[in-house]
Structure formats: C-alpha cells, structure tokens
Structure 1
Amino acid sequence: MNATVAIVGRPNVGKSTLFNRLVGKRLALVDDTPGVTRDRREGAATLGDLKFTAVDTAGLEEADAESLEGRMRAQTEEAIAAADVALFVVDARAGITPLDKYFADILRKVDTPVILLANKAEGKAGEGGVYESFSLGFDAPVPISAEHGEGLADLYEALRSTLETLGLDNPFDPDAPDADSDSDEEADKAGTAERPMRIAIVGRPNAGKSTLINNFLGEERLLVGPEAGITRDSISVDWKWRKHFIRMFDTAGMRRKARVQEKLEKLSVADGLRAIKFAEVVVVTLDATIPFEKQDLQIIDLVQREGRALVIAINKWDLIEDRTEAWRDMREQADRLLHMVRGVTLVPISGRTGQGLDKLMEEIVAAHRIWNTRISTARLNRWLEGVLARHPPPAVGGRRVKLRYLTQAKARPPHFIAFCSRPEALPEAYLRYLINGIRETFKLPGTPIRLSMRKGENPYASKVKKRNIK
C-alpha cells in the first residue's frame, strides 16, 4: 500500500514550501499571497529513507460551502480523509490564531493521525509560537523551517513512528516514476509499456479545462466553478483510458500577456508554459460560443513552436443551437488561420455533460502516433523525385537551386533535412510547398513539421559508390 501524507493548515503557513522541500523540486507555486494553492497536488516525496506520496492542499478557511473558498476547503477535507497521515502546519512566528484553533478541533475528530508542525521556527522569533502550539491539543509540535530545511530530522522521526504504527513504514517504491517529473528518464525505468502519455490541457480562462478533466476521471478531483481563473498550478492526474496510461495536466488559463500584471498570475502562466514544454500532446480548449479569439491563436502558435502534437477541443458544444452551421464556420476558420498545422483535428465536446470525450481521446492517441511517425529515406526520396519533376525549385539570380537528398532526422515532431546547392536562396514559399507536400503525402495532418536545409551533396552517395566498386 502506498502511504499518503496530506499537508494541511490555514493559508500562508508554508504548506507549499514544505511540499516542494519533500518532493525535492519546485512543483507547487509559492508566493506571499494567501490562498495560492487551490487544487490538491501530489508528488513522490522523500525524507531520509522514507518514501511516500505528499499531497499539497488549499488553505483551510471558514467559508460558505458554495463559495470558492468553501469548495477549496471541501477539496482539502477530501485529501485529509484519503490520507494515511496529516501534517498540520501552523506559523510559529504569527502564533496560534483562532482559525488554527478552529481547524485543530476539526482535525481531532477525524480518524487520520495528525502530526503538528510549527513552521517558520528558525531563530528566536518563532520560539513563542512553538510553545503556544501545545495548546492545540496534539502531541508535542515539531518545530521546522520548510524554507531553510531545519527540523527535518525531527519530522522524520515523528513521521516514521506514525507510519510504523500504521504498518506503512516505507511502502513507496523508490524506483517508481515521479507523478510530476519533467523528464521521461524515470518513466523509462518503469518500462515502455507503463510509460504514461503526457497530455496538457490548455486554453483561455474559463474555457472548461478542469471540468473536462473531472469528467474524464468521473470525480470532482479538480476545483471548478463559474469564476474565471480558478486553477493556478498545473496539476497532474494519472489514469487509464482503454489500454493507454495517461498523465493529464490541468493548467491555469492563459490571458494576453499585456493583461498579465500580477506576479502570481505570471507564475501561474509560467507553470502552464512548462506543462506545454514537457507534454507530448497538447489539447487546446476553445469555448464554442467564442472560438478562435486572438489569444486562442497565440496559444496554438505557441504549441506549434514548441513542437507538441496538437488537438483542438471545441468545448461547451451543448450550448450551440445550429451545430451544422457552427461546425462549418469553425472548420473554415481553422483551415484559414492555422496553416502551420494544416489539417489539425477539431473535436466538439462538452466537458460538463461528457459528450465527445471518447472521440477526443481517440484523436489524442492518433495525434500522438502521428507525432511519433518515422518515414524511410527511400520513400522520402522517391517522393522528392516526383516533386522535382513536377515543380522544381525556382532559379534565383539566374541559377537554379538543386535539391539533392531528403532524410528524416528525428520524430516528436517529425523533422526532415534536405540537402541542396544553395539553402539560403530557396524561397520561403517553396519550403512551405515541400512541407505541405510531406504532410499530405505521408498523412501527417495537424502535427508540427520541421524542415531544415543543408548545403552539400547526398551524404550517402560516397558510401554507395564504394559498395559499387567493391
């Protein structure tokens, strides 16, 4: 059984800082603004020889159940109920507040064992708060400084003792891939068959990204509501669709750069950009009632420049009345505006009702396969011979550019290299002609295609001649 440790407490006591310390990387956003964390975030944590799953949670607040803060609290309460141990964090420098006492009363009533941590206890400024925290009615508080890494040995002893009592002293497989790892190396250790497909869900604020993922999972795993910009961190969730292992990332809504002024929103957007960078497939979620806004096009362009496989989900399709006319308009706009990813798949869905979600996953898997496509050099050059016969490169400065050889350098996305006499003289229009021809002939719709030009002869021509001589 995998031990789960939830980090809980009121806002701004340092929960996310402690979470980052335990998982060994800056996965959770950290800022002086209270209430930065809203969704639960999980990560593979290490403390000495203990391996466990740490869960960062939203700050506990007294609020109406229907309010945003109330829904955040419900998420935290679910995390506490699902955890094997709860780390209750208080701010030693601020002292014990009425809110700390209120939630201490709640935690004493749950079955989950609680370890009290007095954070920010470095120096004399935190001593009073450490002694004051005895009044909360738990075992002796563990004074720590999550920011400076102090007191972790005492936390280790307290956590080990609690886990041993539960029979969960060190259950986490240290060789298992990190749920939020940026690298595929850890996943490769687990075997290719178990390696999850990394999918990032991105889009403008309030496009329905979190609702979409919740419907995939069949549970209210991510915080949702009518307010725009609820999601701040990029949160990963693991699940299985048919035979495919999936790691899906929910991201903060991306507004136009000029509108992003606050530091916290800049951090949220940067976290979303990081999710795109390390994804394999990116699903750009558009609002069917206002599709292809300028910001939508900028996000799609970003995904294309990063070289990720792309699928466009037209969300809130259940709100459209004349769907035939709307679909025709959207397809026309996509063909006209998205020439760099010509043929990209559009999937009408409703994250709220679940309409079209299986079709969306089928297209995600197909886009991933196309993104990984490799084409043999022989096929490429047979195609190139036909292209040159029908439409040779233009003469520039009185001299015709000679295209001699074409090969694929890599996949993910497909990247081709053409050898020619004067790469710098080949017009941009002819390069687009070649890319479109490759896309159409070898059935690579929607995926970014890279084409680099190199000066030189066929690099394999000398080897062919040597074999003929022999």
Structure 2
Amino acid sequence: MDCACHSHLVSPWKYSFRHSGNYQYAIADWGGVSFRLVDTGGLDDDIPCAKEVKSQIELALSEASVAIVVVDGQDGILTHDHDVCDLVFKAKSKKKDLKIILCVNKLESWRVGPVLAEQFWQLGLGKPFPISALHGIGIGDLMDECIKGFESGLVPPEDPDIVISFVGRPNSGKSSLVNALSKSERCLTSATQGTTVDTVQVPIESDGKKILLIDTAGMRLVTSSRCAYLPQNRSKRAIRKSDVCVLVLDATWGISKNDFAIAEEIKNEFKAAVIVCNKWDLLDKDATLYKNAVGYLQEKLPALGFADIVFSSAKTGKRVNVILEAAKNAHLQYSRTFSTALLNELLREATFMQKPPTTHGKRLTLYYCCQVHTRPPGIALFCNDDLLLTKDYLRYLQLFFTRSLKLWGSPIKYF
C-alpha cells in the first residue's frame, strides 16, 4: 500500500502514547483505488480526555465509508472491544452504507492466527481477518476486502500552498488556536500538559489558497524520557517541513528557556515566523502594556527579530484571524525577489548610518550585494574579509533590510 504521509507514532512500550487521542490521516492507494486512511485514538475510559477521544472517533466514523475495527488477537476479547463495537453499531444505524471490517492484529503465525481469530465472531462484526501489522501478514486480504465495491481511480495528493506549523512549549494553547482557525475540534485540548503527543495536520482554505495547519507536541528543552523524544523529534520535523512557523507563547508565563530554544530552532532552519502571545485575555491590561510587551519580546527573542507579533486569545477568539493573515503575509515575504540596484542602495545607506566594525585595526568593507536565493530571500555580501563581519553587525543588517524592504515575517539568509 502506498501512503503519501508519515505514519502515526508507535512504540514498543505499552501505553507510551495512550493519550494520543487526535486522529491522523494520510492519502493512500491499494489496487488502483485511492482513499483517505484515518487512524483514530484508542478508546479507554481510564485515560485523560476519554470523552474527547470518543467524540473524535464518532466524528471519524460519521465521515467514513469503511470502518476497520482493530482488536488484539493476543489479548482476546476485552471490555473495550465491546465499547468500540457499540460506537460502530451506532454509526451504522445512522449511515446504512458504512462498511464494517473486523481486523485481528498481532497474529504473527499464519497457521495459528486464523484459529485464534475465530473467537472474535462473538463481536457480531462478521468475518475476522487475522493479520500481523508488524510483519505485513494478511494485509493484502484485508485491503482487498476494504476496496471491494469501490471504483478504481488514483487521485494524486494535492500539495498545500502554505504549510504553517504551531510550535511552543506544552500547554501554551497551540491546539486551541488550530481549532479556532479551522473552526473545528480537530485537535484535542486540555489543561493537562502533554495532551498532544504527535503532530496533527488540519487542512483549511483561505482566499482560495490551500493551507495545511500543523499542531505539534509541546517542546521541552531537555527530556530524559525515551517516549518523549519521539514527539520532540516530530515537532522538529514539522518545523523543517513548514513554510511558516507560529511560535505560541503563554502570556501569563513570559519567556522561558524553552521558548528561546524553539526560536533558535526556527532561526536555524531559516523559516518564516510569527510570534503569538496567547492567553492575552488573562492579563490586566493598561495603556502601556502592549508597547512594553512588544519591546520585551523583541529583547528576549532576538533570533526572531524579523517576526510579526500578534496578541490573541484562543479562548475568546480575539485576534485569532490576525494570526492567519500574519502567517500568509510572512509566506508572501518569504518568496519575494529584489533588484540588485535596490539592495546595493540599501547597503550603502546601512553602512552610512552605522559604520562596519573594526577588528584588530582592520575595518570591514562591504563592496556589493545581490539576491541569490528565495524562500527565504538570500543575499550574497561581497567584502574585503568575511572574518570581520561580526554577528552583531550581521544582526543590524538583518533588521535594517527587514525594515527597509518591509520583510516582516521572513528571515534573510546571508551568503
């Protein structure tokens, strides 16, 4: 089976990701038939957000043409299996054409597997299909049954126009913002930290553009947990995949070492960025708070000095739409090109306003510059000695060009 997306997080440790209630999807094809494959969270009343997970499963069933009920062939029939069956039967009563297939997983022996699968007839879901997802045993028969009765036809997945990832420390409100922007409850939200443990992709449309929103797991500066490493790695991959990164801060907490580290990660990947100060509604605001907050953020997060700053509240919806507009503008700036004449005029102005640094009695001389790259805009600087170009002066040039070219939201990469 061909699949156009990364798979869901899996782990050999039981319950490692039991709180991952968000469902994942991918475009796949089998036997000449294209379809959307959806992986839902596990149903378990003992986990946090159990009610929300159940709602997500019900939503997935309401949109499905085929429901594959997966049970554990090694554990036998469990109480949770009956709960899942109740959900499926309820969905079937509302959607008569819903096709139900019973899949018995973890049966690695092709001889013993069919025998162990027989007990699952008791669930009333029809013929059980014994498989081993780990070894690929029985997958062919299962998929053949899934596509039976559907018209063949391959539909290539459409690439989004803009990919926007929401990153930040745990419980900063990333999932709530994605839900608000998509006008859905696609991402689970909770006051409990760590509710999101995998990336969640939510496609939306805005002004005729296909936009993919990516909700990520909260990133921590240091983690000793083997299970926590995987969500962290997924979040970093989401940054690399994105065109625009939205760094979500908790207005009630200020800037942490985690926030600083995430900002550096975005800077090192040369991604367009927007800084969102979420939970703004929880602060006692006065006339000077906004101005002071902007200065504070620019001082504490110099790596994202080019980014637009949005003060919003996912809870009240205040200025949430501004986030999307800022992200779209950042993407626009990210792809801009400039004439060599304009860049050199600005370079002369920049060096006139602030003289290049002198190191060991030798002054940096900048002769010429031109654009050599887009996404992000890349500028090649020609000078007498690149070792004389200090980080502080390069940061000054970055801010000067950003302000002069109105490149808010996009970094500049120097060569």
Q: Compute the TM-score of the two structures, normalised by the length of structure 1.
A: 0.80
Alignment counterpart, residue 246 of structure 1, candidates 211, 232, 236? 211
Aligned residues: CA RMSD: 2.3
Deviation at 1:147, TM superposition (A): 1.6
Once residues 316 and 69 of structure 1 are traced to their aligned partners in structure 2, the CA distance between those partners, rounded to angstroms, is: 25
Match of residue 136, structure 2, among 130, 143, 149: 149
> Could you tell me which residue of structure 1 aligns to residue 151 of structure 2?
169
SS of the equivalent of 2:91 reads coil
Post-superposition CA distance 1:113-149 (Å, at most 9, x none)? 2101111222156444312122222221112121222
Q: Is the 8 A contact 1:61 1:70 kept in 2?
A: no
The letter of the residue matching 1:28 is: H
**Comparing 95-104 and 68-77, the one that deviates more:** 95-104
> Quick one: distance in 1 between partners of 2:399 and 2:88?
61
Q: 1:437 to 1:49 in 2, by over 3 A?
A: same
List aligned pairs for 1:49-198, cutoff 5 A. 49-62=32-45, 68-111=49-92, 112-123=98-109, 126-161=113-148, 164=149, 168-170=150-152, 173-177=154-158, 187=159, 195-198=160-163
SS in 2 for 1:58: coil
Q: What secondary structure sits across from 2:67 in the alignment?
A: strand
Structure-2 change in CA distance of 1:446 and 1:247 (3 Å): closer
- One-letter identity of the residue aligned with 1:156: M
Asked whether the 8 Å contact 1:24–1:45 carries over to 2, the reply is yes
Kept in 2, the 8 Å contact 1:213–1:250? The answer is yes
Aligned ranges 1:329-340 → 2 under 5 Å: 329-340=292-303
Q: Is residue 63–residue 70 contact of structure 1 (8 Å, CA) maintained in 2?
A: no
* Per-residue Cα deviation, 1:426-450 (whole angstroms, up to 9, x for no partner): 3444333333332232222353222
Q: Is the 8 A contact 1:116 1:139 kept in 2?
A: yes
Change (3 A) 1:322 1:110: closer
Q: Tell me the percent identity.
A: 31
Between Structure 1 and Structure 2, how many residues are aligned? 406
The 8 Å contact of residues 45 and 51 in structure 1, kept in 2 or not, is answered as: yes
Which one-letter code corresponds to 1:118 in the other structure?
Answer: V
Please give the alpha-carbon distance, in whole angstroms, between the structure 2 residues aligned to 1:390 and 1:196.
39
Mapping 1:188-227, distance limit 5 Å: 195-227=160-192
Q: Alignment partner of 2:192: what SS?
A: coil
Pair 1:63–1:342, CA change in 2 (3 A): closer
1:396–1:157 CA distance, 2 compared to 1 (3 A): closer
SS in 2 for 1:413: coil
Q: Would you say the 8 A contact 1:200–1:283 is kept in 2?
A: yes
User: Does the C-alpha gap of structure 1 residues 256 and 369 become closer, same or farther in structure 2, counting only changes over 3 Å?
Assistant: same
Unpaired segments ≥5 residues, structure 2: 93-97
Q: 1:436 to 1:62 in 2, by over 3 A?
A: closer
Structure 1 residues not aligned, in runs of 5+: 1-20, 178-186, 188-194, 453-470
SS of residue paired to 1:110: helix
Aligned-partner Cα distance in 1 for 2:157–2:6:
19
| SS at structure 1 position matched to 2:37 | strand
Q: In 1, are the aligned partners of 2:19 and 2:195 still within 8 Å (CA)? A: no
C-alpha offsets along residues 161-198 of structure 1, whole Å, 9 cap, x if unaligned?
2xx1xxx4336x42233xxxxxxxxx2xxxxxxx4210
Map 1:261-272 to 2 at 5 A: 261-272=224-235
Question: Are 1:353 and 2:334 matched, yes or no?
Answer: no
Instruction: Select the structure of larger CA radius of gyration.
Output: 1
Deviation at 1:392, TM superposition (A): 5.2
Indicate conservation of the 8 Å contact 2:273/2:409, yes or no: yes
Task: Give the Å deviation of 1:400.
Answer: 4.5
For 2:264, the equivalent position in structure 1 comes to 301
Q: Which moved more, 1:338-347 or 1:214-223?
A: 338-347
